[in-house]
Structure 1
């Protein structure tokens, strides 16, 4: 056992000699003299390094240097501090140190703080930094280092980073315009083998995301395998995985695989990546981000996924092919993102069947705020279950019938509609929207810095075709909009059943409608009040219930001729032939004029108004009989003076109170008709003497009243 003892003693002596040599070396080497070289090394990268504290040696757990109170800023803007750190530990290689050279191998940043900010005028500090770095790249400033502090070549600093550690880091973002703040707190980063041109490195990081618009902290985790090329002009990810998670169940993952590369430092970066991202479940993200939105269907907004191949440069990125999936609906196409003076987006997607109604907000409860206290109203809304997909049609009816109440006086976000360009093309196999079912809908929209042009909106709808286009100008102080288009051959019965299934008015038959509309305003309410529109409605065969206009005309004849009504059943329906009408809209008032139609042997003319705010209507109609009978089994008119002349009928009432008695003889106009008929009979009986008697009566009345 003696040899073991001698071996142990020999090793101890060797260790003591080495420790003594290192101690002698460290004592004899004042590392503070390397401060200028650290600063010069940073300056070559366009960074102003400020070391307020001393540089000291670290012996455990690894031989190295400690830099305290460190600040980093752009060399051209030394006061624009971006990074602060309590302490930076730099691990050094032992063999170069024995040659009195410092070769950095590992860097540990303790409690670094990185701040990004946008001032009230929209200027960001990183823009100022990038401009400073660009100026530094074009004309590198000289670093003034006193000659007596410069060291000979054998006492130089070399940087070959094998490991990077960040502990208790903080990255902060603040926007003075919106008041929003975000922080990456408790940031921890571990990176190994970050040697340019060396072996593949490993990178991992985790942090807690906090923000003014986040209800709770969001946990972030990153894992990546990467490689740097020798000239630092290339980065290969193989792959990178980013995960997000919150305590309320919100989850999202992002996978990236590919590379970033440029030919040299003066050339733009080229990108080639494969992206795969998903958020599942998606709904918890609404609660996490304080999004005041609840879709009416429980199955909506459950999952979102994106797959794309990304290729391009800093100026333009192409996402081709692009695959999107929202819940059960898949979309495929392409996209292009442009980074120019005006950022731009080109998007072309085609999907299957999509139910837009399921993604609209839940309809407000009727009269909830009028009959309940605010607390009771809010409680009722919280316990009220969201309507299922099959309840969409009534909701659409309420939305269209009473949607005018939702207009607000809040200014339109016009500034958010400017500052970018876009070309958007969307197409679907089927679309369910506002209770309607559209087949092969297609949308083409262009945006040019606040000018929105709807180039095309088309779809097949209930046996007919929709085609419309329009324009929205948001460049000025207020928005201006106009739209033109039409519907041809649409089955009004199916449209009415989809939009107003509970309405008492029932339509049947095909019709066509062409329209032109324009409006302007600063709020949604002013847009509604300033709406001016005109439309032309036409139909060859149309029926409307529960009105029977022939019955109303027969009642007029019975009253005028003092004859009984025909003893028959009158159906609660009117068949109109060759209907044509012009419609004008001014704000919430709709006027119908030049109404022409045929009903058996009856010619229909008239006009009327519809008040959307008050939910009522008033139509004055004229019914003219052609021949003796209104129809084969209708009523007979003996007096030829009552034929071929419009007889007054009035349809007036509230939308919710329509019944078969809504259309009645117009008593005001009917009295004039009867007086005219009595005058005719008197004149026929007494001849010209009637006119003389009338003149005498007028003269007596003037004398009586002194006029």
Structure 2
């Protein structure tokens, strides 16, 4: 038995020596370069490939099955002169004996100078699509038939064991200076990867595989170039269909046309997991930076085989958004305050799908404002924004365009000079001439609305703000609901409290055509009108609490067009008011003194004239507001009037009638003593000039005063007739005598 074992050992040793000897003989006496033509033909027949074997083929047989290819090209057999792959060197070797156990044990795999040129032609066909397909049989009659058994029946299928997957064991993979070019002749787009280097550690299943990948990426539409580097460790389990990328870090620089000559430095890192069995993916420990922007978060996706859904969280540290956008070549629209968007901080929950994203539970800090709520894109492709936010305060004026204001100031410079000249010559003296009506345009014709952008908006916005500053008005407890789609935008609700009063408004904007159409409905209750005017930079002519209902329409895309095309109706009522710089008492006293044929010894009344109410209706026609029923109640007086407000030049032209009806006691100056003869008489005033003048634009209407004088003279004569004749003549005769002296 012992001798048998020795003999068996000698036999095995002899066989091993024989195998080694055979390998030595094959590798030294068999040259694969002598069979290049056969190798090329085999590639044509089995894989539809045209191999260009320009360099030598190096090989070894045992104990490593090794292969080295030099200066090799690969093309489709249908286009042999247009290779899609070139290779300077491919080197690999596999242990022979483990292959018998379905184990792949390889040394280093080396790939140098690989160039892939992939082209999709104008018909949409790629130059790589026929690769791997065997050549078709030359004749249909040569197709092999299924083998049959002795009885002419097809043999039964053999039951085979399910093969076990190959076990990989590779010392390393090294790819150096590879290049991939892709061009699409249909769209003209080109993409490139160059300078690609890949180095890995040992590649073994269920083990951590360290790697480093670097490359330069480019595209022509738009023209973009990026330098990238990816490092980390890869772990995979093919049986569980589970793949992990641990301690991954992607970094690089991006430049190109979208960045307008600027450069963006970016970095992203974290732990990535793909579980194909569960159809989930995760990115945890996410750290992202782009220039000065820094963010943390996590992202999880599910239902990868259906309609993927993702959830996660995001936190962005405070940064200067204005500087960030400038650093990546993005310009902001002109804003009234250039110090806006300098502080932005965000924390939110993420969820969405392939074409939607939503930020929930938002904690947003923007400059001096803090917001909470939800914000998202219901449809990314259509830019369908959905916003529900609550905030403490927002000064919206800071973020609105400031250019229009400057243009308006430049446009109205000539009008301002006109008004200043009128103000300089204006006086409250009743004997001075009426100011001239303004003629200079007060509004800018600079386009304000970005029509193309507005037509593409899809909005559903709801805002609740503790304080909103809009058009310099401090609105408390503001509510705003805005909806927009297909070129039609509607302000469904805007309400709030203003200077202890309240207001609400609705509006719509139609930009489907070249000339936008606007409409608005407003309601104001108990708002101090002087505060509104002061906020607009105007000097108020009156003070008081304003109630207003208005329904207005207009069209155009500038301040001037909106005023020129303004139409609609409004009703106003100002209570507890004061007519500033309006000494109506002095004006009336001067008129009474004229009738008394006396001269005033001093000025009378105070600087302002209080009134209980001021009300009326306005009809707007192409920028001119007609006011046929102006009514004001002043202690002891009633004022009625009618006239026009020309909003195009901010001018007024009114005729007023003042009726004395209150205290008829003697006034301090005997020249303007009021007696019963003047009770119930409507004293005429004329107001004309820029709105800024207020009551300074009003004068006593001397023609009207002359008519009153004639009326009073006739009244005195009638009184004399009654006094002289008494009851001596019949009433019919007295009436006839009075009629003789009536003014015709």
Distance apart, 1:625 and its partner CA: 1.4
Write out aligned runs for 1:621-632 (5 A): 621-626=656-661, 629=664
Tell whether 2:118 aligns with 1:71: yes
- Specify which of 677, 682, 686 is matched with residue 650 of structure 1: 686
Residue deviations 1:80-116 (CA, integer Å, cap 9, x gap): 99xxxxxxxxxxxxxxxx9999999666774556789
Residue deviations 1:603-624 (CA, integer Å, cap 9, x gap): 1011233334434333221101
Distance apart, 1:450 and its partner CA: 2.3
SS at match of 2:262: coil
Distance apart, 1:460 and its partner CA: 0.8
Distance change in 2, residues 1:70/1:102 (3 Å): farther
Q: Equivalents in 2 of 1:217, 1:341: separation in Å?
A: 27
Distance apart, 1:446 and its partner CA: 1.9
Tell whether 2:285 aligns with 1:239: yes
Q: Equivalents in 2 of 1:24, 1:101: separation in Å?
A: 29
Distance apart, 1:208 and its partner CA: 2.0
- In structure 1, the residue matched to 2:387 is 347
Distance change in 2, residues 1:414/1:115 (3 Å): farther
Q: Equivalents in 1 of 2:532, 2:186: separation in Å?
A: 51
- In structure 1, the residue matched to 2:266 is 220
Structure (1 or 2) with the larger CA radius of gyration: 2
- In structure 2, the residue matched to 1:423 is 460
Residue deviations 1:647-673 (CA, integer Å, cap 9, x gap): 211223335556x64322023433444
- Specify which of 287, 303, 310 is matched with residue 262 of structure 1: 303
Q: Equivalents in 1 of 2:521, 2:110: separation in Å?
A: 77
Distance change in 2, residues 1:610/1:214 (3 Å): farther
Q: For structure 2, list consecutive stretches of 5 or more residues without a partner in the other structure.
A: 1-19, 50-81, 93-107, 129-165, 191-207, 414-439, 722-734
- In structure 2, the residue matched to 1:198 is 243
SS at match of 1:54: strand
Residue deviations 1:514-556 (CA, integer Å, cap 9, x gap): 1111123366653442221322111331112111223222222
- In structure 1, the residue matched to 2:348 is 308
Distance change in 2, residues 1:419/1:616 (3 Å): closer
Contact 1:628 1:643 in 2 (8 A): no
Greater CA drift, 54-63 or 470-479? 54-63
Q: Equivalents in 1 of 2:737, 2:676: separation in Å?
A: 24
Contact 2:357 2:380 in 1 (8 A): no
Contact 1:310 1:319 in 2 (8 A): yes
Write out aligned runs for 1:56-205 (5 A): 56-59=88-91, 63-64=110-111, 66-71=113-118, 77-78=124-125, 110=178, 112=180, 165-174=213-222, 183-190=224-231, 192-193=233-234, 195=236, 197-201=242-246, 202-205=248-251
Q: Equivalents in 1 of 2:706, 2:214: separation in Å?
A: 95
- In structure 2, the residue matched to 1:284 is 323
Contact 1:189 1:203 in 2 (8 A): yes
Residue deviations 1:160-201 (CA, integer Å, cap 9, x gap): 998573422113434xxxxxxx52334455565275623434
Tell whether 2:86 aligns with 1:54: yes
Distance change in 2, residues 1:545/1:367 (3 Å): closer
Q: Equivalents in 1 of 2:372, 2:30: separation in Å?
A: 69
Distance change in 2, residues 1:317/1:330 (3 Å): same
Q: Equivalents in 1 of 2:566, 2:32: separation in Å?
A: 84
Q: Equivalents in 1 of 2:701, 2:474: separation in Å?
A: 40
Greater CA drift, 233-242 or 421-430? 233-242
Distance apart, 1:305 and its partner CA: 2.3
Q: Equivalents in 1 of 2:453, 2:718: separation in Å?
A: 75
Distance apart, 1:256 and its partner CA: 3.8
Tell whether 2:636 aligns with 1:594: no
Residue deviations 1:250-295 (CA, integer Å, cap 9, x gap): x32343412223252xx11110121223562223246454636565
Q: Equivalents in 1 of 2:549, 2:720: separation in Å?
A: 53
Distance apart, 1:575 and its partner CA: 1.0
Residue deviations 1:328-353 (CA, integer Å, cap 9, x gap): 31100013422388553321000112
Distance apart, 1:229 and its partner CA: 2.4
Contact 2:554 2:565 in 1 (8 A): yes
Tell whether 2:454 aligns with 1:407: no
Write out aligned runs for 1:293-332 (5 A): 293=333, 295-297=335-337, 299-332=339-372
SS at match of 2:664: coil
- In structure 2, the residue matched to 1:471 is 508
Contact 1:470 1:481 in 2 (8 A): yes
- In structure 1, the residue matched to 2:614 is 579
Q: Equivalents in 1 of 2:364, 2:48: separation in Å?
A: 49
Q: Equivalents in 1 of 2:243, 2:28: separation in Å?
A: 29
Q: Equivalents in 2 of 1:648, 1:670: separation in Å?
A: 7
Distance apart, 1:573 and its partner CA: 0.8
Contact 2:667 2:674 in 1 (8 A): no
Q: For structure 1, list consecutive stretches of 5 or more residues without a partner in the other structure.
A: 1-13, 40-49, 82-97, 127-159, 175-181, 246-250, 372-401, 699-707
Question: Normalised by the size of structure 1, how large is the TM-score?
Answer: 0.67
SS at match of 1:406: coil
For these two proteins, the number of residue pairs brought into alignment is: 570
- In structure 2, the residue matched to 1:11 is none
Contact 1:194 1:227 in 2 (8 A): no
Tell whether 2:597 aligns with 1:559: no
Distance change in 2, residues 1:57/1:663 (3 Å): same
- In structure 2, the residue matched to 1:179 is none
- In structure 1, the residue matched to 2:398 is 358
Distance apart, 1:442 and its partner CA: 0.8
Distance apart, 1:368 and its partner CA: 7.0
Distance change in 2, residues 1:309/1:694 (3 Å): closer
Write out aligned runs for 1:479-628 (5 A): 479-500=516-537, 503=539, 505=540, 507-521=542-556, 525-565=560-600, 567=602, 569-626=604-661
- In structure 2, the residue matched to 1:441 is 478
Distance apart, 1:582 and its partner CA: 1.7
Tell whether 2:261 aligns with 1:209: no
Contact 2:443 2:559 in 1 (8 A): no
Q: Equivalents in 1 of 2:356, 2:348: separation in Å?
A: 15
Contact 1:487 1:513 in 2 (8 A): yes
Q: Equivalents in 2 of 1:675, 1:38: separation in Å?
A: 119
